[in-house]
Amino acid sequence: MKHLINTKALTVVVLSALMLGVLFCYISLSYRGVALFKQNNINQQNGLAADDVIPVSHEFHLVAPDLLRYEQPSILRGRTDVVTVTPWLAPVVWEGTFNPVLLDSIYKRKNITVSATVFAVGKYIMFLKDFLETAEQHFFVGFKVHIYVFTDRPNEVPQVRMAAGRQLTVRSVPSSKRWQEISARRMELIQTLIEEQLPNHSDDYVFCLDVDSKFHGRWGAESLGGLVAVIHPGYYKDGRSRFPYERRPASRAYLAPEEGDFYYCGGAFGGLLQEVHHLAKTCRSNFEADAQEGIEAAWQEESHLNRYMWINKPTKVLSPEYLWQDFKPQNPEVHIIRFSGVVKNYAEIRPNA
Ligand code: UD2
């Protein structure tokens, strides 16, 4: 009888141990599955695999504070002198089309960081002080801002007092004998920068800006979007056949006379990190493939950016308020100049004329 009880007890113990073993294997395999799934997601976001996949973001979930009071919006009154929406229904941002207080309160809750890249190679370092000082006054005031300066003269980066929550990182880059190369290489460096940042910041934004420019007015949350393009101030009254797109079919930046929506500038563009990563990577690889075949697009990376935006429509378009040129008189439809290129003497500042 005692022997029988011992055998029964042993069987129960062995069976329990077996069940526990099976349970353990099941749990650890499922855990590994979740981990692999997460890693694949991170790889995709990194652009390491399936780089055409744009990960889902929460950009469009806009939560406003209940107690905020602001002027009643109207669908009957508003700007009538300019077009405020593209044919693919992306907003075109002009003064008078948005409420800055409302937008700030929506986006401040999201706790986002807005980065800006700016290149100051060779003599262009002379523009950096004004760029940084005016960015303090107008660019995403009250938000977390991270400015990345790429330069071959890190010792000459000016000390500019920055408000709490704003920071500056300086990255050394080699100089070059050709301005075309400096301008075009920006895409490669932006791509690399985002690859380093992306895993932890996929809901954040970046703007890539020319250094020979100053801020004069608010540039804030109204400019945020998945993929953001800025309309070039020099061509917005022209027909598309007159836009200075790359017109040689041999180039990957080619656009035919009947193609193209607007002429966008290379001096300002941005959006969510993963969108800008995809843009920079595509423009860089097309630029490099062209170079292998001995062709350089008419306006370097600006031509490739225009080709990219023809296929990948920007989700927000910024009016020329967001990149004017100091030498141009202000047009009546431009109620405010927010950012503008300074007048410069190309022969004096570029490494090659
Ligand atoms: C236009 C575009 C510019 C770029 C270029 C074509 C605008 C307002 N500007 O300007 O973005 O697409 O055409 O290549 O849309 N840089 C240096 N050191 C140099 C040369 C250039 O740091 O020696 C950097 C600097 O950040 C500068 C940018 O590259 O702002 C563009 O160069 P640019 O201003 O000389 O080009 P630009 O005026 O022809």
| List of residues 6+ apart from 187 with CB closer than 8 A | 280, 281, 283, 284, 287, 301, 304
Per the CB < 8 A criterion, the answer to whether 185 and 151 are in contact is no
In whole angstroms, what is the distance from residue 224 CA to residue 90 CA? 12
Residue 256: band (very low, low, confident or very high) from pLDDT cuts 50, 70, 90? very high
- Note the pLDDT tens digit of each residue in 272-323: 999 999 999 999 999 999 999 999 999 999 999 999 999 999 999 999 999 9
Dmax over Cα atoms in the chain, in whole Å? 108
| Angle at the Cα of 291 from the Cα atoms of 286 and 295, rounded to 5 degrees | 100
What string of DSSP letters covers 115-175? EEEEEE-GGGGGGHHHHHHHHHHHBSTTSEEEEEEEES-GGGPPP----TTEEEEEEE---
pLDDT of residue 178: 85
Above 50 in pLDDT, residue 12?
Answer: yes
What value does the mean pLDDT take over residues 112-124?
96
Contact 305, 75 (CB under 8 A): no
Closest C-alpha residue for ligand 1 atom 7: 267
DSSP string, 63-110: ---TT---PPP-SSSS--SS--B-TT--BEE-TTSS-HHHHHHHHHTT
Inform me whether the pLDDT recorded for 53 exceeds 50.
no
Q: What value does the mean pLDDT take over residues 239-260?
A: 97
Closest approach atom of ligand 1 to CA 267: 11
Residues in contact with 287: Cβ distance below 8 Å, sequence separation at least 6, in sequence order? 184, 187, 252, 253, 297, 300, 301, 304
**pLDDT at position 80, please?**
96
Model pLDDT for residues 67-105, shown as the tens digit of each residue: 999 999 999 999 999 999 999 999 999 999 999 999 999
Alpha carbons 173 and 131: distance in angstroms, whole number: 19
Confidence of residue 328 (pLDDT cuts 50, 70, 90): very high
pLDDT at 324: 98
Tokens, residue 173: 């880059």
pLDDT at residue 249, rounded to an integer: 98
Catalytic center residues: 302
Q: Please tell me the predicted confidence (pLDDT) of residue 61.
A: 85
Q: Is the CB of 306 under 6 A from ligand 1?
A: no
**Predicted pLDDT of residue 16:** 64
Q: What's the confidence (pLDDT) of residue 282? A: 97
Residue 9 has a pLDDT of 63
Distance 297 CA to ligand 1 centre (A): 14
For the beta carbon of residue 284, count every other beta carbon within 10 angstroms: 21
Report percent pLDDT > 70 for the chain: 83
Question: Residue 43: is its pLDDT beyond 60?
Answer: no
For residues 284 and 34, which has the higher predicted lDDT (pLDDT)?
A: 284
Report the share of the chain in percent with pLDDT over 90. 74
Confidence of residue 59 (pLDDT cuts 50, 70, 90): low
CB atoms < 10 A from the CB of 171, how many?
14
Q: In what order do the strands lie in the sheet with 92-93?
A: 92-93, 316-318, 227-231, 264-272, 205-209, 113-120, 144-151, 166-172
pLDDT exceeds 70 at position 56: no
Protein residue closest via CA to atom 37 of ligand 1: 267
150, 210, 328: which to mutate for ligand 1, most atoms within 8 A of CB?
210
Q: How confident is the model at residue 55 (pLDDT cuts 50, 70, 90)?
A: very low
> With a 6 A CB cut-off, is 145 part of the ligand 1 pocket?
no
| Of 38-52, 131-145, 184-198, 216-230, minimum mean pLDDT range | 38-52
Task: Indicate whether residue 183 lines ligand 1 (CB < 6 A).
Answer: yes
pLDDT recorded at residue 211: 98
**4 has pLDDT over 60:** no
Indicate the average pLDDT of the chain: 87
Contacts of 219 (CB under 8 A, 6+ apart): 138, 139, 140, 322, 338, 339
pLDDT at 179 over 90: no
Q: Which amino acid is at 111?
A: N
pLDDT tier at 44 (50, 70, 90 boundaries)?
A: very low
Q: How far is the CA of 210 from the centre of ligand 1 (A)?
A: 6
Structure tokens at 332: 């009546």
Residue 157 has pLDDT above 90, yes or no: yes
Least confident of 18-32, 91-105, 155-169, 258-272: 18-32
Work out which ligand 1 atom sits closest to the CA atom of 302. 12
Q: Indicate the SS3 state at residue 23.
A: helix
Predicted pLDDT at 36: 32
Scored b (16 or more CB within 10 A) or e, 191-209 reads bebbbebbeebbbbbbbbb
Reduce the DSSP state of residue 232 to 3 states and report it: coil
Residue 347, pLDDT score: 84
